[in-house]
């Protein structure tokens, strides 16, 4: 996966999500995609998430 910017940045998350989407079914079980999806869930469900 290419350098996606500083950890926790929105651009990094968006780029990671786009990368995993482009992988399609190959993303299932991919450790990088699992991490990106976990971060996305954390941001989505955070009560004080900045939007």
Region 12-16: mean pLDDT is 93
Domain contains 2: no
**Structure confidence at residue 51 (pLDDT):** 54
**What residues make up the domain containing 37?**
10-45
Domain contains 39: yes
Tens of pLDDT, residues 18-50:
999 999 999 999 999 999 999 999 988 887 755
Task: For residues 30 and 46, give the distance between their C-alpha atoms in angstroms, rounded to a whole number.
Answer: 24
**Structure confidence at residue 4 (pLDDT):** 52
Please state the domain count of the chain: 1
pTM exceeds 0.75 for this model: no
Domain contains 30: yes
């Amino acid at each position: 996966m290419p350098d996606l910017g500083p950890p926790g940045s929105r651009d990094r998350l968006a780029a990671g999500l786009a990368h995993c989407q482009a992988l399609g079914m190959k993303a299932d079980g991919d450790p990088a995609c699992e991490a990106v999806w976990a971060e996305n869930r954390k941001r989505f469900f955070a009560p004080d998430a900045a939007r």
